[in-house]
A and B are shown apart, each in its own frame.
Chain A
């Protein structure tokens, strides 16, 4: 698999691009083109099979040669790119509005969703989006024509309020119409067991799920040295702390959380991909494509 040009993957460069559509197209065009094909029949030049005519079928698709031979109406079907539903669940809680580097977690997550959506669109998939920021729910139903709407929605949503990943995934479950992929992009401030249970329901219905855990270096390393008053972005709770004295314990707890997330999600066959905001997007795109090629061939 060819690597994308680094300039279109580096988050620092992406941060300078204001247009999400341009950003996503640049990323995807530079990353991959035509790497996989759907097994789902559709509009294509590759013949798949004949099937008997049903009332309401387009008469232009009737194979008149077969009719001449068999005196029955058969329609020609072709192999086409799949149009599976790819629904992105973007965590827009206030905790995502944090960043210690050039790109904050929420911006990084938006770039990631935009790029993945563009990639999915190129594959002929139907893309949809669910975000839940506080009490404000944004839903873009999955459709092949909703990419621009999805990008527009991504552009205007702001991170705020408390995290409600289970509620968001519940709305995703209501949206899905066919077999598809659910992509959760979040900082995963949720108990791993709760997250697993929420995603397990989707997975049990045949959907594939992938969790991108967006991590900022500062929240991972707790690098501060001065005493300070730490405030929870979502709840507003404050704690006067001395980071120096807490760093080691904190890092252990944080790493344990990630390990437990990976363990719990893998039990349900759900992919768990930690992504750091100071890392390029290609690793995330590659993981998505691998999953898309290997596990989501649908007809």
Chain B
């Protein structure tokens, strides 16, 4: 019966066989010397140097080398493979052919080699062998279950095409393992993986195990020249126009290169809505990234589809980058102000709201009495600017609107703090004012930097707020269901929130005018104000693109959605069965329609390959095999007989270890008895055994 090793990499430990040899050659030099009065006469004895340095104890050397060899063999986990003639009744071999269909396989030198390799694996199958075909990228698809029909398997291989998604070896191997384990009464199998062995595909391999009877073989079809350039990102900024010039769009692209031998010059091109909008030559580094900025282009109306491309190299799929710039919509924010509002009191707040894009916000002033369902219909948020929760019909309309998903922001100032208001929807109630003018003002502390309101402030979270001084603010007491997001340094809540039905209510005691603090003068003011209102409104900026493999959620209001893929394929998510998202498998522009795929789309989404997939750095096949362990848990699903059989096949390593241990004892006995034993104590010892 042939013997295979579960961890063949350990066989490299055979190099340790040289250790006993070196020890035997060097031991005498390092051995504690025996002091002798003078070597004057011994040096006159005719002996050659070679004779002195020769290996003097061949039996001991061979024994030690044998111990090392046995230990290495044992740890390499030898397993006796069943003889081909002793195969189970159903079929002889079971082979699962895994074909990598990730974006990187679209390399001009790779895909044809991959198909050839897959066919080569198929050609080795005997008529009784069963074969399955699985295509994988980040997910795995069984193209052909285990079958004796090799022609069907070949046809399945021919259907596979490289896509736009990333690589995850673990997905393919797991699918193959499940396929093999479905037949509990049949053991053994072979997984042949045709892949370019991209380094980025090893994520998710942790904990992946295979039954000991399943052999995994990686067939590397990666290109020898792995240099690649890719557009990995695009920055877009709307530039406000003037009276004479329209609004413009500034676009800059990030291009990364990996593995080139020398810098290269390429042309990078920008097109907007299918029209060429810019082109320039850039010199790409051999290994690194650059940012190429295009001249601003006039901002078209509606949704803008941007395509940035560079000259094609061997891997074309990542040379084109798609971006969708949504049409700029102005969102209404209803601002309920007190009747005694001074003219400039809310100036900073309103300017902060109106600054920025995606989305743009427009504040509309109303009094508490002017709130009704019609006023609130198109608004995304209501701001109670230092006014208490309105009562009466206005309060009822506001409560219903928030309950249905509206966002309410309460800015508590001196008016709210001066009197006990009605709590209503608000997450806190004011109990008087705090005056911090004597101690140079209070600061915000104990904030939760991970909170979405602070996300626009950068990684420091609420850190930038630490330099802001608040001289007067109302002391808020949170309600039972409120969550304190931020506090002043005296412990008083500064930012509270609570949910009301589908809506959000946010209340802040931080002074947003310039009379009670210096917050409007701080850089954090604008992102804080916009972030707070948008958070309460539940509105987030739409991404300019998504990565292949992501899902695209269909808005609940869309009935009978139809999504057209870049390839032209139509996808119809079955909303009635709860499937409200489509998987974005292809790179390009996905368009969503209602009813039928014609007319103006409801939404457009750009999809690009994952940037990691553009890195063609490969691992060695052995590294992939080392990452896959032996399955000890899954073996429990096997029958008792198969367990015993598996145990019997792996019994060799125990025998080898026991043999090595026995030899170790023998070596100990050899070295501690006879002249070898005295050799160890010869140092400073007289011939009669007494110390000199």
Contact = CB atoms under 8 A, between A and B. Distances in A.
A101 B690 contact: yes
A104 B690 CA distance: 12
B347 interface: no
B641 interface: no
Contacts of A204: none
Contacts of A228: 31, 33-34, 679, 682-683
Nearest to A251: B41
B328 to A, nearest CB: 89
Interface in A182-241: 187, 189, 216, 218-219, 221, 223-235, 237-241
Dominant secondary structure of chain B at its interface with chain A: loop
A240 B687 contact: no
Interface in B646-692: 675-676, 678-679, 682-683, 686-688, 690, 692
Given A95-B37, A233-B35, A253 B44 contact: yes
A237 B35 CA distance: 10
Given A246-B47, A250-B42, A253-B41, A98 B692 contact: yes
Given A95-B37, A189-B37, A246-B47, A230 B42 contact: yes
A77 to B, nearest CB: 50
Contacts of A231: 33-36
B56 interface: yes
Nearest to B43: A239
Contact of B679 (A104, A187, A226): A226
B45 A246 contact: yes
A105 B678 CA distance: 24
A54 interface: no
A239 B675 contact: no
B56 A242 contact: yes
A100 B691 CA distance: 7
B576 interface: no
Nearest to A191: B40
A27 interface: no
B687 A218 contact: yes
A255 B686 CA distance: 21
Interface string B18-48: 0000000000110111111111111111110
Nearest to A215: B37
A257 B675 CA distance: 30
Given A227-B56, A229-B28, A231-B33, A257 B39 contact: no
A96 interface: yes
Interface residues of B, number: 33
B41 A216 contact: no
Interface in B443-472: none
A249 B46 contact: yes
A224 to B, nearest CB: 6
A67 interface: no
B30 to A, nearest CB: 9
A246 B42 contact: yes
Contact of A100 (B32, B41, B46, B687): B687
Contacts of B676: 226
A254 B36 CA distance: 14
A11 interface: no
Contacts of A239: 39, 42-43, 52
Contacts of B40: 189, 232
A249 B45 CA distance: 6
Given A229-B29, A239-B52, A101 B37 contact: no
B45 A240 contact: no
Q: Which interface residue of B32, B36, B52, B682 has the most chain A CB atoms within 10 A?
A: B36
A199 to B, nearest CB: 19
Contact of B29 (A225, A234, A240, A250): A240
A54 B498 CA distance: 135
B675 A253 contact: no
Contacts of B419: none
Nearest to A237: B39
Contacts of B679: 226-228
Contacts of A225: 675, 678
A229 B687 contact: no
Interface string A155-191: 0000000000000000000000000000000010100
B58 to A, nearest CB: 13
A24 to B, nearest CB: 24
Contacts of A240: 28-29, 52-53
A96 B692 CA distance: 12
Contacts of B56: 227, 242
Contacts of B31: 228-229
A99 interface: yes
A230 B687 contact: no
A232 B36 contact: yes
B676 to A, nearest CB: 7
A216 B37 contact: yes
Q: Which interface residue of B28, B686, B690 has the most chain A CB atoms within 10 A?
A: B686
A101 to B, nearest CB: 7
Interface string B42-65: 111111000011001000000000
Q: Which interface residue of B34, B43, B683 has the most chain A CB atoms within 10 A?
A: B34
A106 to B, nearest CB: 10
Nearest to B56: A227
A219 B36 contact: yes
Contacts of A253: 41, 44-45
A185 B434 CA distance: 105
A187 B40 CA distance: 12
B37 A105 contact: yes
Nearest to B37: A95
Contacts of A230: 33-34, 36, 39, 42
Nearest to B44: A253
Q: Which interface residue of B42, B47, B683 has the most chain A CB atoms within 10 A?
A: B42
A53 B40 CA distance: 60
A241 B686 contact: no
A96 B37 contact: yes
Q: Which interface residue of A219, A224, A257 has the most chain B CB atoms within 10 A?
A: A224
Contacts of A238: 29, 33
Contacts of B32: 229
B664 to A, nearest CB: 22
A232 B676 CA distance: 23
Given A219-B37, A228-B679, A230-B39, A241 B687 contact: no
Interface string A240-262: 11100110011001100100000
Nearest to B41: A253
Contact of A234 (B38, B44, B675, B690): B38
Nearest to B692: A99
Interface string B331-348: 000000000000000000
A242 B676 CA distance: 12
Contacts of A235: 39
A274 B687 CA distance: 21
A242 to B, nearest CB: 7
Interface string A61-96: 000000000000000000000000000000000011
B688 A101 contact: yes
Given A239-B43, A253-B41, 17 more contacts: A95-B38, A100-B690, A101-B690, A221-B687, A226-B676, A226-B678, A227-B56, A228-B679, A230-B36, A230-B42, A232-B36, A233-B36, A233-B37, A245-B47, A246-B45, A249-B46, A253-B45
Q: Would you list the 7 A-B pairs with minimal beta carbon distance, nearest first?
A: A231-B33, A100-B686, A223-B687, A95-B37, A226-B679, A232-B39, A240-B28
24 contacts: A98-B37, A100-B687, A100-B688, A101-B686, A101-B688, A101-B690, A105-B37, A187-B38, A189-B37, A189-B40, A216-B37, A218-B687, A224-B34, A224-B682, A224-B687, A225-B675, A225-B678, A227-B28, A228-B31, A230-B39, A230-B42, A232-B40, A241-B52, A253-B45
Interface of B: 28-29, 31-47, 52-53, 56, 675-676, 678-679, 682-683, 686-688, 690, 692
Interface of A: 95-96, 98-102, 104-105, 187, 189, 216, 218-219, 221, 223-235, 237-242, 245-246, 249-250, 253-254, 257
